[in-house]
Amino acid sequence: MRTPAEPHRSGDLDLGAVERMLAGRLGNDGQAALAGQVARLLAQPEPPPTRIARALGRIMQYEGGDVGLIDWLDRFPGRPRLVVRILGLIGLLERYGRQRRVDGVLAGLRDGGRLPARVAGRLAPDTDGATLPGLGREIRLMLAADELVEAGRLARSAARALALVGPSVAGVPGLADLGDLAEASRRDLGDALVALRDIEKGERIVMPTKHWNVDIVIGEDGGRTHAEARLNTEDDMIVTGTGDARLNPADEDIPEIGDELAAARALSDLGHRLLMTASADIEAVTDEPLSIG
């Protein structure tokens, strides 16, 4: 049975997060996570289950339609931005790839060795109206297989190929904007790949952290200061060290000094006890005696 605090998920989409977003109660970090889930779904060639499709439709309506959804995804660097820009390039390949003039120029560029190697190696010897849409399908299959970086690199090379076609068809009705659109796509894909690389690099260098708290309690009684240093870990382990300081009758009574000495000795004792605990744990695993200095 689902507990009330557990988010309701269906497939790979957090439906609870969708509801919070539609109610205006989902913060930027939550939206970034949700955008990543939406991007994964959009990368799949098969339509999602009805319930997921309905939720995606509600997000699209909330953002103002197709263009609004694209703009929303593009706000978030990493997977969302790269996926939406790859899909935009695939749209260009499908839109212009069936134009005969584009096919002819593309064949000439291939024969002249001017196409990016990443694209040239994937083109069939006979370039026709199915060549570029087929390249788009190959990129989409990479996305579906979660080969995100390779899909992005191939998409950028495909955009470069279209940009090379552009000047030769600039005077053809319906094709005049091909070069500019393709070059803009190439730049956008490059920026998205760099952003993804930076995010992944940051994720690799940021290590998981744990927070251990040490509470020090100090008391004084008749010239004797006693301190306890208690360590509480996230695993509910408690280790306590103690320390004492005594006032020499010939010395001036300065309470702060006694506190400092007692606390320092308690922390030192705590460190020793923690080492002993670690030693016992290692011995329990290895079945061999261990001495930790």
Interval 81-138: pLDDT, tens:
999 999 999 999 999 988 889 988 988 988 888 888 889 888 877 777 688 899 999 9
Of residues 200 and 189, which shows the higher confidence score?
A: 189
Q: Residue 86: which residues within 8 A CB-CB, separation 6 or more?
A: 139, 143, 151, 152, 155, 189
Q: What is residue 222's predicted lDDT score, i.e. its pLDDT?
A: 75
Rounded CA-CA distance 237/242 in Å is 17
| Interacting residues of 16 by C-beta distance below 8 A, sequence separation 6+ | 7, 8, 9
Task: Identify the residue with better confidence: 237 or 47.
Answer: 47
Residues 189 and 89: beta-carbon distance below 8 Å: yes
The model carries a pTM of: 0.65
CA distance 150 to 171: 34
More confident residue, 235 or 41: 41
Own/partner pairs, 33-39, CB within 8 angstroms, 24+ separation: 35/72, 35/73, 35/75, 35/76, 35/80, 36/76, 36/78, 36/79, 36/80, 37/12, 37/13, 38/13, 38/69, 38/73, 38/80, 39/73, 39/79, 39/80, 39/83, 39/84
Q: What is the mean pLDDT of residues 170-187?
A: 94
Residue that has been written with the tokens 């955008």 in this structure: 35
How does pLDDT run across 159-178, given as a tens digit for each residue?
Answer: 999 999 999 999 999 999 99
pLDDT at 129: 67
Task: Grade residue 236 by pLDDT with cuts at 50, 70 and 90.
Answer: low
Domains of the chain, by residue range, sit at 9-205, 213-286
The average pLDDT across 195-204 equals 77
Mean pLDDT lowest for which of 34-48, 64-78, 88-102, 219-233?
A: 219-233
Give 235 or 148, the one with higher predicted confidence: 148
- Both tokens of 91, joined, read 């749209």
The percent of residues in the chain predicted with pLDDT above 90, rounded, is 52
Could you tell me which residue, 230 or 288, shows the higher pLDDT?
230
Given a contact cutoff of 8 angstroms between Cβ atoms, the answer to whether 165 and 109 are in contact is yes
Measured distance CA(241)–CA(213) in Å, rounded: 13
DSSP conformation letters of 32-86: HHHHHHHHHHHT-SSPPPHHHHHHHHHHHHHHTSHHHHHHHHHTSTTHHHHHHHH
Torsion of CA 59, 62, 65, 71, to 10 degrees: -80
Reported confidence tier of residue 285, pLDDT bands at 50, 70, 90: low
pLDDT of residue 184: 96
Name the more confident of 71 and 251: 71
The per-residue pLDDT for 208 is 53
Residue 203 has a pLDDT of: 59
For range 243-249, the mean pLDDT? 82
| Whole-number pLDDT of residue 40 | 93
pLDDT, mean over the chain = 85
The confidence band for 3, taking pLDDT boundaries of 50, 70 and 90, is very low
218's enclosing H/E stretch is strand 213-221
Band of the pLDDT at 10, cuts 50, 70, 90? very low
Q: What is the pLDDT of residue 5?
A: 35
CATH number given to 213-286: 3.30.160.240
Confidence check: pLDDT of 6 > 60? no
Confidence of residue 234 (pLDDT cuts 50, 70, 90): low
